[in-house]
């Protein structure tokens, strides 16, 4: 499987449902319409809604979480048919929500009785330690990279960009290199599920290695996007402990391969005729490239650059990812819990639709997603959500970041019976 670009289809979808707008379906209506679509099939569904004059295509779009683009404003309803057809196809390609799981009590019950849980985690489970996620507006890593002048901030993790100019990645790497032995209550929760014999596999997209620090056993952890744990030379493949290159990363230097350096020293100062196109590539390299005019027709062999074994865009995921999923987990899993990820990067985002659709799925994060149907959404800071779940389960989650007297409010927004918002109560300010 290839770690590819995010699904562009998500970018035009906006969560709508403003209250009491006659042009927009209410949440209850939207969920009924989506159910009817599956029961009746697209042809009958359209006959009974748009053809029967009960709904305009424009209004029906809102049942699928789509806001009609403004260039269609003022046009006849027929102008919306193409978009509606796309929305219906997209909806039918999603896993159908299981109607019997909705409440927090259902989530607690599922945790109690499940013994082979897949945890799919993302950057959100580490943010409470001050480690930025990628896509949160303002605080996420990608929103802080405008100064690099990239077409897309994700190019920082693009393997072709790295090979051409590693300085781009290393100008950012010093801010994301793991610098802590601490882990969050959510990491502890995952480790606790393992201790209780309930963890099948933790598929983590994180590169901070904190699951290991929290005690999740290596054999139950798939680091889908690799980690800083090891590093390899892009030229000769030499592998070493990731920590060995941390001093270079932190001081803003490009780490070079010690084996290449040794080989170069042994072979003496050899010049090699430069290949076509190499000139262009060299110009993108760092300012510390001190080659002089006399060398202009030759490449001076240099030591390869070390790269942390993070899976970059354009690189394959570790083999163990697909092997474990297909040969070990798919037939065993009895509950899926997704925590702290926007699910925008394939193939990890496809795990949930690839697993058997009758297996219940719970989503824990700050905002709900619209491109995947989960059975239960538990929204809020994940440390707060998991602490409250543990409280209700009677499983103490002892962690320095969970106050002993923590109180959590849980509310269910009107019209969303399977969506619950968790908020930690804060003490009223002293007068």
In whole angstroms, give the CA distance from residue 222 to residue 166. Answer: 26
224 carries a ligand binding annotation:
no
Q: Which tokens is 251 given?
A: 């001081």
**Residue 225: active-site member:** yes
Regarding 127 and contact with ligand OAD (CB under 6 A), the answer is yes
Please, which residues have CB within 8 angstroms of residue 223's CB and are 6 or more apart in sequence? 204, 206, 207, 209, 211, 229, 318
- Residues 313, 314, 316, CA angle at the centre, nearest 5°? 100
Regarding 223 and contact with ligand OAD (CB under 6 A), the answer is no
Regarding 377 and contact with ligand OAD (CB under 6 A), the answer is no
| Shortest distance (Å) from residue 153 CB to ligand OAD | 9
233 carries a ligand binding annotation:
yes
Regarding 202 and contact with ligand OAD (CB under 6 A), the answer is no
Regarding 101 and contact with ligand OAD (CB under 6 A), the answer is no
Identified binder of ligand OAD from the candidate list 24, 102, 154, 191, rule CB under 6 A: 154
In whole angstroms, give the CA distance from residue 343 to residue 122. Answer: 8
DSSP letter (8 states) at residue 65: T
Regarding 191 and contact with ligand OAD (CB under 6 A), the answer is no
Q: Are 362 and 378 in contact (CB under 8 A)?
A: yes
Regarding 95 and contact with ligand OAD (CB under 6 A), the answer is no
In whole angstroms, give the CA distance from residue 88 to residue 108. Answer: 33
Identified binder of ligand OAD from the candidate list 91, 133, 375, 377, rule CB under 6 A: 133
From 83-91, 127-135, 317-325, 392-400, give the range in contact with ligand OAD by CB under 6 A.
127-135
| Shortest distance (Å) from residue 156 CB to ligand OAD | 8
**How many residues in the chain?**
431
Which residues in the 42-81 window bind ligand OAD by CB under 6 A? Answer: none
In whole angstroms, give the CA distance from residue 133 to residue 142. Answer: 8
Identify the active-site residue in 187, 225, 399, 420: 225
Select 88 or 382, whichever has its Cβ closest to ligand OAD: 382
List the beta bridge partners of residue 336. Answer: 118, 361
Surface-to-core class of residue 237, CB atoms within 10 Å of its CB (0-12 exposed, 13-18 middle, 19+ buried): exposed
In whole angstroms, give the CA distance from residue 209 to residue 225. Answer: 11
257 carries a ligand binding annotation:
yes
Which residues in the 306-345 window bind ligand OAD by CB under 6 A? Answer: 310, 340-342, 344-345
Regarding 204 and contact with ligand OAD (CB under 6 A), the answer is no
Regarding 123 and contact with ligand OAD (CB under 6 A), the answer is yes
Regarding 134 and contact with ligand OAD (CB under 6 A), the answer is yes
Regarding 135 and contact with ligand OAD (CB under 6 A), the answer is yes
SS (H, E, C) 318-341: CHHHHHHHHHHHCCCCCEEEEECC
Could you give the angle at which helices 382-393 and 104-113 cross, rounded to 10 degrees? 70
| Footprint of ligand OAD (CB under 6 A) | 122-124, 127-128, 133-136, 140, 154, 157, 205, 207, 225, 310, 340-342, 344-345, 365-367, 381-382
Catalytic residue numbers read 225
Binding residues for Zn(2+): 233, 236, 257, 260
């Amino acid at each position: 499987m290839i770690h590819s670009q995010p699904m562009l289809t998500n970018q035009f979808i906006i969560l709508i449902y403003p209250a009491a707008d006659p042009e927009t379906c209410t949440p209850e209506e939207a969920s009924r319409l989506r159910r009817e679509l599956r029961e009746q099939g697209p042809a009958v569904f359209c006959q009974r809604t748009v053809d029967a004059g009960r709904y305009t295509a424009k209004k029906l779009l809102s049942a699928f979480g789509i806001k009609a683009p403004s260039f269609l404003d003022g046009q006849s309803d027929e102008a919306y048919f193409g978009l509606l057809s796309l929305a219906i196809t997209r909806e039918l390609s999603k896993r159908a929500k299981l109607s019997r799981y909705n409440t927090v009590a259902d989530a607690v019950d599922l945790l109690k009785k499940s013994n082979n849980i897949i945890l799919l985690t993302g950057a959100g489970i580490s943010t409470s330690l001050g480690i930025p996620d990628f896509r949160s507006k303002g605080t996420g890593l990608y929103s802080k990279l405008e100064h690099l002048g990239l077409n897309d901030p994700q190019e920082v993790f693009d393997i072709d960009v790295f090979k051409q100019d590693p300085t781009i990645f290393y100008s950012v790497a010093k801010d994301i290199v793991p610098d802590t032995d601490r882990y969050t209550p959510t990491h502890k929760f995952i480790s606790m599920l393992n201790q209780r014999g309930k963890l099948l596999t933790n598929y983590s997209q994180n590169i901070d290695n904190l699951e290991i620090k929290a005690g999740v056993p290596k054999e139950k952890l798939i680091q889908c996007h690799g980690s800083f744990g090891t590093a390899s030379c892009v030229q000769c493949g030499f592998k070493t402990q990731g920590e060995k290159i941390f001093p270079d990363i932190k001081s803003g230097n490009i780490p070079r391969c010690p084996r290449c350096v040794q080989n170069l020293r042994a072979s003496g100062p050899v010049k090699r005729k430069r290949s076509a196109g190499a000139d262009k590539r060299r110009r993108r390299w760092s300012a510390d490239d001190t080659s002089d005019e006399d060398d202009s027709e030759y490449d001076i062999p240099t030591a390869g650059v070390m790269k942390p074994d993070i899976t970059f865009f354009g690189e394959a995921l570790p083999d163990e990812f697909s092997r474990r999923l297909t040969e070990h987990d798919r037939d065993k899993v009895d509950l899926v819990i997704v925590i702290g990820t926007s699910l925008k990067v394939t193939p990890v985002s496809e795990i949930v639709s690839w697993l058997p659709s009758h297996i219940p799925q719970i989503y824990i994060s700050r905002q709900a997603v619209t491109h995947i149907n989960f059975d239960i959404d538990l929204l809020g800071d994940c440390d707060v959500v998991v602490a409250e779940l543990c409280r209700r389960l009677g499983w103490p989650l002892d962690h320095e970041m969970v106050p002993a007297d923590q109180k959590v409010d849980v509310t269910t927004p009107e019209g969303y019976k399977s969506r619950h918002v968790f908020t930690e109560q804060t003490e009223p300010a002293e007068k």
